[in-house]
Amino acid sequence: MSVKRTTINYSLFLGLLLTLFALHSCQENDRRLPILGPREVQAGDTLYHTIPDFAFVDQDSSLVTPETFKGDIYVADFFFTSCPTICPKMKSQMLRVYDKYKGNEHVKFLSHSIDPAHDTVAVLKDYADRLGVDSDKWHFITGDREAIFDIAQNSYMTSALEDENEPGGLVHSGAFLLIDSQRRVRGHYDGTKPEEVDQLMQDIDLLLEEEKKTSDEG
């Protein structure tokens, strides 16, 4: 009797375990990245925070606007080429992401220089060439500094500003921002930490699946 009861209990336990595993797998497959930033509801519709229109010039003297990323997702950050602190570490980590997705036409990269006085088109071109990256894939942009400071703080929800007490006279966060094809911020990661960049790459895969599913349903 006890053996039979043990067998039944084990079967129930195994069945419950398999059910929980299946539910967990479904939840993982259906998991969506959050949409970051403020939002408001108008006439029953939720309006999410999005990156506004912008226009900057990249290392090829090409104009970069939201149209440059139409239908694609991209990873954005803020830096300056003479940065003596976190930028080298950030770029080595971003190169990891670039190398993984350089063959995927739907993933792009956008690095905003916060030192346009020094980071001219020629300087950015040399910088990109030394990294060995494709300029159609990874845009290093320059423009009006106040406009770049503004888009960093008010659109990408990160920091970039002048600070004479900091090395180089400028300060910015080490954030990598994941942006979807609708210009919404879907992730915020510390670009100086390999484990957070690992998470970024996992989330890029998740976002690509989401975008494909949305496209197929549309």
Length of the chain: 218
CA distance 82 to 40: 40
List of residues 6+ apart from 187 with CB closer than 8 A: 33, 34, 36, 177, 178, 200, 203, 207
Question: Is 87 labeled as ligand-binding?
Answer: yes
Secondary element (H or E) of residue 211 = helix 194-217
- Pick the closest to residue 111 from 61, 147, 169, 152 (CA basis): 152
Question: Is 26 labeled as ligand-binding?
Answer: no
Specify which residues 171 forms β-bridges with.
161
List, as residue ranges, the binding site.
83, 87, 172
List, as residue ranges, the binding site for Cu cation.
83, 87, 172
